[in-house]
Structure 1
Amino acid sequence: MLNTIFKYSNKDDRKTLLIDHRESKFGNQFFKPCLILLTSITVIPLMVIVFQWSLLDDEQNQANAPPATTTNAQWSRGCIRTEDLENTDIFFQLVNNTEWRFKNTTTLMKSNMPPLLNCQDIFSMTDSMRFLTAGWTKLVYQATLAKRKVAIKMVNFEGQMMKNCKAELQSDQHCRQKIAKKFIKEIVALSQFKHPNIIELIGYCIPSDPSSENSIDKLAIVSELGEPLNLFILLQMNWEERLKILYSILKLLEYFSEQPVGGVVLNDLRAQQFVICDKNLKLVDVDDVVPQALQDQISHLKENFQKQNMPSNLLRQFAQKLVHNYSTGQYFKANSSRAEFKRYKNADLPTLFDYPCHDSTTQNSCVLSVANLHEAQSLCTAQTVCKAIVWTNQKTWTGRHVVLFKKNFTQPTYNPNTITFLKVDDNTQSFSEDTSQL
């Protein structure tokens, strides 16, 4: 259940997942979705964040005390407690008396994946490391690994977690142990939870005595590097891209709620993990820019997400129906009075006659996705400025076709991957339909 997943998120600002953002575009005011929780790996390299995991209800798991060693089968039976994620003896074995590595029975890595980087691999990349940001517990660096940019997380000795620990008059050793456990928990979580919307663990370094004064600076996590999902990027997203992120989030929530160890609680809601607007966590508001026929579905989905009164699997199924209706164009009613169009095969109007339009995927041209040709022609008919449609062979993640709308028309350029449709009226000039020689 969503109320279980967010059991530690009792404040209103963590339950209110939707917001309106009013802006002016091309002289008209409209409401545009403001911010989106988490990210979708296929739209923006997502999950720059690393979740701090807490497994649901210690009472539920206390009856299932873990065995001395852990296997995949034991994980799947739900025999792991929150504290176990911090325990090197359960998941790791000491190699060459220098560093802890996963036991073969505890990792869920695919056989065709390269082995995780070890301490030597990681610290051989120090020459390419560039500082990115400092967080509560970690320093984050960018490095290059075989021409691939990766993120390296290391201990932030000046971070807030260390300061808070010392302010409680705890010993340095106790504070180092606290941070080391947090690192180890994160490494285990990233290795065990595999989902397209969770960052990929590329490597890790856990020294033999990770909390010692001489070793804690060697603690490291290497993961794929993502781009922060900031407000500027979100405001440039069209409705379909935001729908993709919403759908990804719901699939992720369902994945968390169905873990064999119990529901996974996200109890660390910081700006680095999530998108924040006005100190409130926001998912998406699509009220005023969705296709009108989808309005009831959107409202129902929003209501259940806000009130957290629908199980996560049903939320995901509901969103899946929404995606299906949008991708197939079932919501769309073709305009019976739409204009006539003349078809030009292998024809294009590159860089010509572009104009901006609402919800375009680009700033200075009108690029939209449509379910079918009827929808494209109806949209062009409804826009007085539109004189032609360029139908491309590109598709969006939902399978919708990418089309360009043009404000004028001339002798087209040959392009085997496009078809141009000219809106026909009394003033339409005739052009050669033979573009094969152009």
Structure 2
Amino acid sequence: MTFSKTTFSVFFFVALLFLALTVVLKQWHFGVRETFGDAAAPDGLTPVRNRLLQQLEERQQELEQLCISSDNVPTTLGFMDPRTPETEIGCEELSGVNAVDFLGSGYTKTVLKAALPEGLFVALKSVNHQGTDMRLCMEDFKDHQSCHELVSFKLRKEIVLLQRLQHPNIIKFKGQCQDSALVGGITAVLEQGMPLQMIQLLQSPWEERFRVCLGLVRLLQYLSSSPLGSVALLDFQPRQFVMVSGELKLTDLDDASIEEARCEEDSDCLLQFPLRNFTFRCSSSRICEGLNEMRNLYNAYRYFFTYLLPHQAPPVLKPLVEKIMNSTGDLKQSINKTLVDFEEVLHVYKSGLHLENVPPLITKDYAVLKGMRSVGNMEYRCWPSYNEQGCVLSVHSAREAALICSSHPQCTSFSLSNERTWTGRLLASFRSGFSHLVPDVNSAVYMRRVKASGAVL
């Protein structure tokens, strides 16, 4: 067999490279691995390897800064299965876990639904080895172990943030496990949520859409002055949220920032969006104070409020809703004042003040059968309904239900039970008829009275 000059040159280069890799050592400060390189640079590392080390160093510094910013600094940055009363699921509990469903994946992470031995369902987040971040890293550095370490920093950052940011609209952090067999391998254990489906949410009753927006505003108010300072959600998208028992919860925090932009003049405090730009004042301390808060608020407006708030809002609430839309769309006021406006809408809606123009004697047109429930129902559909197969709506009282039934030509009766929505309002079921009644102490049936001619009043 003969070798060409090109083949020999390649072989000679590979041999030299192998010799260099076995001689040059660099201990990384965050792990127990060794990094090798050729002699192309004074420090013995290639430019590509130096770039990789620099990125790893930056990620580590970001994690350390997060811990310094917290009043409750952990005892270690190794994330080796710390336990608290709230986060007591660790490697031992996960040893018998069974993955039962795939919930989703992104550039960095994969999320699985898992069943713990005691029957508790949780979400498990881990590094997505086929994700975009891993692929791009491998293209640049061609080092699987190093890339896994680099990509895993996003998940580590998210764990730190979830441990320190406690709010009803942030997903609950239940524990973690670092697999010692794989450097950088780490799994976060979270409460299980369902991915936010905007199309489905758009078809839901206004009360449920308002609940999502209210929860979001409460979350942003908390983030504006969190224990870590003002937190900006740099990748603000509906996909960063999940639904848990009807409540909106933030689940992705790896792109969050706790630093306000620094500035020399007002023009440095610029917020740019596809359709609008906003400029704010540079403070005397040379920081764009409030920029994180305003960024979050406008993103809430363009991704959530615009689609969920105005449509089908109760008539008396529309002026209040329009005020919210105008103030957030133009960033005229702070998140604190925006939350006050949302709480006012909630108060009016729960108290029944929006029914002040409804005739008080409207229920006189209905015969009431308390302690009864209708069966053999002849239901009709209305939109938006809490029941896709019928017409089930939220009402403040029998008076509002009577008003709704009177406005539906096909409605001949409605029933009320003790079932309530998150606001405490009653659920009313509207029907076009029924065959007979049965006793039910928790229910009441309201039947529209008929004229002598037999026509419904």
**Could you say which TM-score interval applies, normalised by the shorter chain?**
0.5 to 0.7
- 1:137 corresponds in structure 2 to 108
Q: Map 1:151-300 to 2 at 5 A.
A: 151-169=123-141, 172=144, 174-206=146-178, 214-216=182-184, 218-270=185-237, 272-274=239-241, 281-283=303-305, 284-300=307-323
> For residue 247 of structure 1, what is the amino acid of its counterpart?
L
1:86 Cα deviation (Å)? 7.2
Residues 1:323 and 2:352 aligned together:
no
Cα deviation digits, residues 264-298 of structure 1 (max 9, x gap): 111123563159xxx97334333341111111111
> For residue 133 of structure 1, what is the amino acid of its counterpart?
G
1:188 Cα deviation (Å)? 1.2
- 2:446 corresponds in structure 1 to 421
Cα deviation digits, residues 303-357 of structure 1 (max 9, x gap): 2222233211221121111011111221122137846111111111135121112
Q: What SS is found at the alignment partner of 2:163?
A: helix
> For residue 252 of structure 1, what is the amino acid of its counterpart?
L
Residues 1:359 and 2:384 aligned together:
yes
> For residue 282 of structure 1, what is the amino acid of its counterpart?
F
- 2:372 corresponds in structure 1 to 347
Q: Distance in 2 between matches of 1:425 and 1:412?
A: 18
* Preserved contact between residue 376 and residue 434 of structure 2 (Cα < 8 Å): no
Greater RCO (Cα-Cα under 8 Å, separation 6 or more): 1
TM-score (norm 2): 0.65
1:94 Cα deviation (Å)? 8.2
Q: Distance in 1 between matches of 2:446 and 2:102?
A: 51
Q: What SS is found at the alignment partner of 2:379?
A: coil
Indicate which of 389, 394, 399 corresponds to 1:374.
Answer: 399
- 2:358 corresponds in structure 1 to 334
Residues 1:307 and 2:330 aligned together:
yes
* Preserved contact between residue 388 and residue 406 of structure 1 (Cα < 8 Å): yes
Q: What SS is found at the alignment partner of 1:93?
A: coil
The percentage of aligned residue pairs carrying the same residue is 27
Change (3 A) 1:118 1:94: farther
Cα deviation digits, residues 370-399 of structure 1 (max 9, x gap): 112221212222222221121211111111
Q: Distance in 2 between matches of 1:166 and 1:86?
A: 29
* Preserved contact between residue 413 and residue 430 of structure 2 (Cα < 8 Å): yes
Greater helix share, 1 or 2? Answer: 2
State the number of aligned residues: 329
- 1:395 corresponds in structure 2 to 420
* Preserved contact between residue 91 and residue 178 of structure 2 (Cα < 8 Å): yes
1:175 Cα deviation (Å)? 3.0
Mean CA deviation greater in 248-257 or 133-142: 133-142
Q: Distance in 2 between matches of 1:271 and 1:286?
A: 15
Q: Distance in 2 between matches of 1:178 and 1:92?
A: 22
Q: Distance in 2 between matches of 1:353 and 1:248?
A: 37
Q: Distance in 1 between matches of 2:453 and 2:397?
A: 24
Cα deviation digits, residues 223-271 of structure 1 (max 9, x gap): 1121112244314411111111111111111111121321111112356
Indicate which of 29, 42, 65 corresponds to 1:84.
Answer: 65
Q: Distance in 2 between matches of 1:392 and 1:416?
A: 9
Indicate which of 411, 423, 433 corresponds to 1:386.
Answer: 411
1:401 Cα deviation (Å)? 1.2
Q: What SS is found at the alignment partner of 2:380?
A: coil
Q: What SS is found at the alignment partner of 2:236?
A: coil
Q: Map 1:107-126 to 2 at 5 A.
A: 111=85, 113=86, 115-125=87-97
Q: Distance in 2 between matches of 1:309 and 1:81?
A: 33
- 2:21 corresponds in structure 1 to none
1:172 Cα deviation (Å)? 5.0
Stretches of structure 1 lacking an aligned partner (at least 5 in a row):
1-79, 430-438
Q: What SS is found at the alignment partner of 1:152?
A: strand
> For residue 286 of structure 1, what is the amino acid of its counterpart?
L
Q: Distance in 2 between matches of 1:94 and 1:310?
A: 39
Q: Distance in 1 between matches of 2:130 and 2:340?
A: 45
1:428 Cα deviation (Å)? 8.5
Stretches of structure 2 lacking an aligned partner (at least 5 in a row):
1-60, 243-298
Q: Distance in 1 between matches of 2:449 and 2:188?
A: 61
Change (3 A) 1:215 1:173: closer
1:163 Cα deviation (Å)? 2.2
- Pick the structure with greater CA Rg: 2
Change (3 A) 1:428 1:238: farther
Q: Distance in 2 between matches of 1:342 and 1:130?
A: 50
TM-score (norm 1): 0.67
